[in-house]
Amino acid sequence: MRVPFNDILYIETSSSSHKLRMVGKKLYKKNFMERLPVFKNRMRKTQRFFASHKSFLVNIDNICDYDKKNKGNYIFMKAVVALFLG
């Protein structure tokens, strides 16, 4: 499965072990088999993903803002999605 980087908002771990969920700009979700540390290592060269939490990799190209008032606990994405960072 090939997906352009710009279409990916974030990657998150799934409830199933070794499964990741990719959430795209059109709010589609695709599951695929891979461990997050392995995926993160493969994407290191691109420098497009930020580990905002141990369960999330956020595409930095799709971040439009972050909440500075609440200790930076929220990242706002270009597709009207807010991620809580714990």
d(CA 84, CA 72): 9
**Residues 60, 6: contact at Cβ < 8 Å?**
no
Give the pLDDT band (50/70/90) at residue 82.
low
Mean pLDDT across the chain: 78
Put simply, whether the predicted model's pTM sits higher than 0.85 gets the answer no
d(CA 34, CA 7): 19
d(CA 38, CA 43): 9
Q: Residues 37-55: what's their mean pLDDT?
A: 85
**Residues 85, 71: contact at Cβ < 8 Å?**
no
- With a cut of 80, say whether residue 79 has pLDDT above it: no
Please report the pLDDT score of residue 47 as a whole number: 87
- With a cut of 60, say whether residue 44 has pLDDT above it: yes
- With a cut of 60, say whether residue 84 has pLDDT above it: no
